[in-house]
């Protein structure tokens, strides 16, 4: 019974998360529903009343979960070995829903600071989706967290794949920020979703990005491939006048020309 209940909850949350991209009405209600797995996180529920106006159903769902806590605790929501997977399934929907950015951002930060590697990786992979809920300061705060995880992952074998996820996420993020981009006004790169969102008024600290690249070119193959994708995005979106300041850092990546792996060398 517990396994069935866990699978049922996971399937339900996953189903709701998948169709929220098509939701045009009552998005606030569906956001509250998929927030259910997060309503056992103390720092998130501490100030739920602040969101009564924007997400009126959120407090009600929290109260419902408390009334059913005996069942929930026994079967699924509080099951620590299962909760991260359920939470991870909500991240894509939280990223593209366009209501209550403050709540979605709080949930995302909780995921981005998680000790659970699967949840953390999902949060990193969907970082580009959350930049539309941020201003410049918040964007810099989140980006610093993401880059930190990339640097830290290079030092731990069990987190090596996370560095690749960070590099690719930053590459996709460049599609949505304004950095004196080389692309013409009527042109977008193959990674950009569309011209209208390729000119976000946000900026990136390239110093920290190149610091990660310089270390990642000495990582495993996944990290090196991530570097190739990020370099391609940098060349597509950053003007040469800006990149010229990082000539030495770009030169460091030439080590990838000596790779014995033909696919990796070709990608570079």
| pLDDT tens sequence for the chain (268 residues) | 456 666 666 677 777 766 666 666 778 888 888 888 888 788 888 888 899 888 888 888 888 767 655 555 555 444 444 478 888 989 988 888 888 989 999 999 999 999 999 999 999 999 988 887 777 788 889 999 999 999 999 888 777 789 999 999 999 888 777 655 555 555 556 556 555 454 456 778 899 999 999 999 999 999 999 999 999 888 887 877 888 888 888 888 988 888 888 888 888 8
Same-domain check for residues 252 and 145: yes
The predicted model scores a pTM of 0.82
Report the Cα–Cα distance between both ends of the chain, in Å, rounded. 51
Residues 1 and 96 both lie in one domain = yes
Calpha distance 152→154 (Å, rounded): 5
Same structural domain for residues 136 and 266?
yes
Q: Looking at the structure, tell me whether residues 15 and 137 fall in a common domain.
A: no
One domain, residues 252 and 168? yes
Per the CB < 8 A criterion, the answer to whether 10 and 86 are in contact is yes
CA 22 distance to own-chain centroid: 20
| 65 contacts: CB under 8 Å, gap ≥ 6 | 36, 39, 40, 72, 77
Instruction: Give the three-class secondary structure for 121.
Output: helix
112 lies in some domain: no
Residue 200 DSSP one-character state: B
Verify that 142 and 37 share a domain, yes or no: no
Residue range of the domain that includes 205:
126-268
């Amino acid at each position: 019974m517990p396994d069935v209940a866990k699978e049922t909850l996971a399937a339900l949350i996953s189903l709701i998360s998948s169709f929220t991209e098509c939701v045009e009405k009552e998005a606030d209600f569906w956001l509250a529903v998929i927030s259910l797995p997060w309503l056992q996180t103390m720092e998130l529920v501490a100030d739920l009343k602040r969101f009564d106006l924007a997400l009126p159903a959120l407090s009600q769902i929290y109260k419902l979960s408390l009334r059913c806590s005996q069942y929930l605790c026994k079967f699924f929501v509080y099951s620590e070995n299962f909760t991260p997977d359920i939470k991870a399934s909500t991240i894509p929907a939280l990223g593209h829903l366009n209501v209550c950015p403050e709540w979605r951002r709080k949930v995302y930060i909780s995921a981005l600071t998680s000790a659970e590697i699967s949840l953390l990786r999902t949060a990193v992979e969907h970082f580009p989706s959350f930049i539309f809920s941020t201003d410049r300061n918040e964007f810099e705060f989140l980006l610093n967290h993401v880059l930190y995880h990339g640097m830290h992952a290079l030092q731990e074998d069990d987190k090596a794949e996370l560095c690749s996820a960070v590099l690719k996420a930053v590459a996709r993020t460049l599609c949505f920020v304004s950095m004196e981009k080389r692309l013409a006004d009527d042109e977008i790169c193959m990674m950009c979703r569309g011209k209208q969102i390729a000119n976000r008024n946000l900026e990136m600290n390239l110093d920290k990005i190149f610091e990660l690249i310089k270390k990642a070119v000495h990582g495993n193959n996944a990290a090196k491939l991530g570097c190739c994708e990020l370099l391609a995005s940098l060349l597509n979106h950053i003007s040469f006048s800006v990149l010229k300041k990082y000539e030495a850092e770009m030169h460091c990546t030439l080590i990838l020309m000596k790779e014995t792996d033909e696919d990796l060398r070709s990608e570079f």
